[in-house]
Amino acid sequence: MRLVTWNVNSLRVRQERIEGWLAEAEPDVVCMQETKLADDAWPALSFKALGYESAHYGQGQWNGVAILSRRSLGDVVEGIPGFADEQKRVIAATVHGMRVVCVYCPNGQAVGSDKYEYKLRWFAALRDYLSAELQNHPRLAVAGDFNVAPEDRDVHDPKAWEGQVHVSVPERAAWRALLALGLKDSFRLFEQPEKVYSWWDYRMMGFRRNAGLRIDHVLLSEELAQTCTSSTVDKAPRKLERPSDHAPALAELRTGA
């Protein structure tokens, strides 16, 4: 079974190409971020026609997250329970015999800014939420745009990025606090080529130069990690016309459910 996370950077702009990729890649579960849609604009019927049940939690203009599943999708929870947040960044559901939490973590803008403080507060709330989820769901996947490059090898130019937002020490500590719950970065379960990224700046020919960051991740609980057979990034849709600046990250799980 194939689990995918993809920050689409406006579904409206890319609906057709996203549907084309879904038809080709045939993921079983899709976590989507930055739909930039209100819930009443979510094209549930288009995805239904492709064979997906879906749940969307959005606000229009900014943010917006969704989970699509080829099998029935239930127990949908929106946001981080107990964490008041106007920004629609989290949705969870039970699909294919596992609990899936789809996250669009805050960008943080600049170290020391209000948005950066919000990002760290938000990560603390996410940690507490996932801690509780792990108690209830040993089969837990957390997939999304984390806006954190965990290590220097996830950064095309670590010197240029040193201390910047996405790689700063407190952000990486917030990331490691998620791993400390018992979650595994599926990508690092395997030998990987160097310089694999999931996001490239639109400017300065970032993609052509492979000047990117690996910030889109699939985290797996211990039990799910044992079933994981691969974790990759598909750069193909980033090469198309008017692409999202993010590429989809995929994890393969050996699970019958």
* Residues taking part in catalysis: 104, 145
Binding region for DNA (CB under 7 A) out of 22-30, 72-80, 102-110, 181-189: 102-110
Question: Does the protein bind DNA through residue 10 (CB under 7 A)?
Answer: yes
CA 61 – CA 122 distance, rounded (Å): 20
φ, ψ of residue 90 in degrees (nearest 5): -140, 135
Question: What is the nearest approach in angstroms of DNA to the Cβ of residue 88?
Answer: 12
Residues near 150 by beta carbon (within 8 Å), at least 6 away in sequence = 172, 175, 176, 185, 214, 217
Hey, is 203 helix, strand or coil?
A: helix
**DSSP conformational letter for 118:** H
Question: Does the protein bind DNA through residue 61 (CB under 7 A)?
Answer: yes
Question: Does the protein bind DNA through residue 133 (CB under 7 A)?
Answer: no
List the one residue from 69, 147, 168, 221 that touches DNA (CB under 7 A): 147
Question: Does the protein bind DNA through residue 66 (CB under 7 A)?
Answer: no
Cα atoms in the Cβ-side hemisphere of radius 13 Å centred on 28: 18
How many residues does this entry show for the chain? 257
Question: What is the nearest approach in angstroms of DNA to the Cβ of residue 165?
Answer: 7
Binding region for DNA (CB under 7 A) out of 57-65, 178-186, 187-195, 225-233: 57-65
Residues 193-212 that bind DNA (CB under 7 A): 199, 201-204
Contact 178, 126 (CB under 8 A): yes
Nearer to DNA by Cβ, of 133 and 145: the residue is: 145
Nearer to DNA by Cβ, of 109 and 210: the residue is: 109
Give buried/exposed letters for 79-88 (b at 16+ CB in 10 A, else e): bbeeeeeeeb
The residues that touch DNA, with contacts defined as CB under 7 A, are 7, 9-10, 12-13, 34, 36, 60-62, 106-107, 109, 115, 145, 147, 165-166, 199, 201-204, 213, 215, 242, 245-246
